[in-house]
Amino acid sequence: MPNWVIVGTQWGDEGKGKVVDLLTEKADIIARPQGGANAGHTVVIGDNLFILHLIPTGILHPHKICIIGNGMVIDLEQLFFEIADLKKRGIDVKNRLFISENAHLVMPYHKTIERLEEESKGRNKVGTTGKGIGPAYRDKIGRCGIRLRDILYPEVFKKKVESNLKNNSHLFRKLKRGEFSSLKTESGVILKYKKQVLSLMADVSLILNEAIRNGKSVLFEGAQGAMLDIDHGTYPYCTSSNVSAGGACTGTGVGPTLIDEVIGVVKTYTTRVGNGPFPTEFDDGLCEAIREKGKEFGATTGRPRRCGWLDLVLLKYSVRVNGITKIALTKLDVLDDLGKIKVCITYKYKSKTIENFTNDLKFLENCTPVYKEIDGWKTSTHGMTKYENLPQRAKDYINFISQQLGVKVMLISTGCKRNETILI
Ligand code: IMP
């Protein structure tokens, strides 16, 4: 297999975990370029459910090498919790998991700051996952972040922590409940993992580039979805990293000329957790039905996801900003019971027809989706493995999406298990 980037095309939770798990069979190395413990990649193997937040899902395949890229922000407590949990379940990461020395750390104070800031925003809060992602990336961009390699030099590490605590003291002062952070607490939480971390740290750009030169293939496992991208997403209701395909390169130190395909994972309807505009959102009745059937609850926070119709205006934009070459379509079976299915084909704004998505908040809050209504197939597709067995109306739905986006569908997921998949 060549080098593939897997990206979510909507607001995350498209089912990337399963798609990555399936394609991992063909890859040698699986690398996560961005995000942190805000992600929750769900994989079902037999009767076992795995939810991975930081470690690439490739770890579930024996002998595959997994990489945590420089573009990620790492919460060490979560990382070692995940490693211990995998070990309990018979999966050892030894000599298979490598973390970039340049990845930034999520410090306990990042989570405190995030909570404070969210509280102070009231109704305008982003609705983050509460994992300290925004403040950690903010320090990275502000050039005061703490990288994994800083642990090698405890004096430097402590100085940086001290300075960051001082610079944030105005925020901590807002806390009324005596939760002031101290250098001792902050550094204690991190430095206790020093020995374990050292055994995982590596120059991941070197590993990846040498592997590619030797004919190995790399699967870049994106997290979240393009609409949560810090540049191309629904800013400021987005995450703080480059979720879109370009992030795979900057987040690992592999050049764009080495990427062969970008696979966009598209859910057959749309969901989003957290706040922000969502033009095709359902009204309450349908939302609950789809949420129950699609088990649309956040894998990281357990929050109920907002649900809506498929939005082709948004998806065309996603295909464009990611350079998507193939589509993996997920959760087809969730639509099985619907008599009518709507697909948004354009937006109406100030009585004009709008074909191109724009991430202008005022526009997104005030535009009206224009739908094409199609007949549902009203037959179970759950667990189907052959394209020819799909009901004709389901095929029509799939073909319509593919034609509109100008991209071929390579895989259709018809259930959460590995084998509940149609490979085209
Ligand atoms: P943060 O990434 O925790 O800062 O959250 C920012 C926004 O992105 C919030 O709306 C979150 O709900 C959303 N978000 C972050 N990670 C994911 C994910 O993995 N799936 C879906 N939404 C996410």
Of all protein residues, whose CA lies closest to atom 20 belonging to ligand 1?
Answer: 12
pLDDT band at residue 285 under the 50/70/90 scheme? confident
258-277 average pLDDT score: 97
Cα–Cα distance between 165 and 74 in angstroms, integer? 19
User: Distances from the Cα of 141 to the Cαs of 114, 146, 147, in angstroms?
Assistant: 16, 11, 12
Which ligand 1 atom is at minimum distance from the Cα of 35? 2
Average pLDDT, the chain: 95
* Catalytic residue positions, numbered: 13, 41
In testing the pocket of ligand 1, which one of 38, 106, 137 has its CB within 8 Å of the most ligand atoms? 38
Q: How confident is the model at residue 283 (pLDDT cuts 50, 70, 90)?
A: confident
Ligand 1 centroid to residue 301 C-alpha, Å: 10
Tell me the whole-structure pTM to 2 decimals.
0.96
Look at residue 3 in the predicted model and tell me its pLDDT: 98
392/285 Cα distance (integer angstroms)? 27
Residue 47 CB contacts under 8 Å (≥ 6 apart), including other chains: none
Percent of the chain with pLDDT over 70: 99
Q: Which domains does the chain have, with CATH numbers?
A: 4-100+202-263 (3.40.440.10), 104-194 (1.10.300.10), 265-423 (3.90.170.10)
The alpha carbon of 276 and the centre of ligand 1 are apart by a number of angstroms equal to 11
Residues 318-371: tens digit of each pLDDT: 999 999 999 999 999 999 999 999 999 999 999 999 999 999 999 999 999 999
Distances (CA, A) of 86 to 90, 94, 271: 6, 11, 29
For a substitution probing ligand 1, which of 7, 10, 117, 239 has the most ligand atoms within 8 Å of its CB? 239
pLDDT at 178 over 60: no
Residue of higher predicted confidence among 102 and 178:
102
> Model confidence over 306-321: pLDDT tens digits?
999 999 999 999 999 9
3-state secondary structure string across 265-327: EEECCEEECCCCCCCCECCHHHHHHHHHHCCCECCCCCCECEEECEEHHHHHHHHHHHCCCEE
255 backbone dihedrals φ, ψ, rounded to 5°: -75, 150
Q: Which helix (H) or strand (E) holds 28?
A: none
Confidence at residue 8, expressed as pLDDT on a 0 to 100 scale = 98
Q: Which amino acid is at 260?
A: D
What's the confidence (pLDDT) of residue 300?
A: 85
Average pLDDT rounded to a whole number, residues 164-180: 76
Does residue 177 surpass a pLDDT of 60?
Answer: no
| DSSP string across 188-204 | HHHHTTHHHHHTTEE-H
Q: Is the pLDDT of residue 297 over 80?
A: yes
Is the confidence at residue 60, as pLDDT, over 80? yes
Per-residue confidence at 175, pLDDT binned at 50, 70, 90? low
The Cβ of residue 409 has, within 10 Å, a number of other Cβ atoms equal to 18
User: How many Å lie between the centroid of ligand 1 and the Cα of residue 160?
Assistant: 27
The answer to whether 71 and 244 have CB atoms below 8 angstroms apart is no
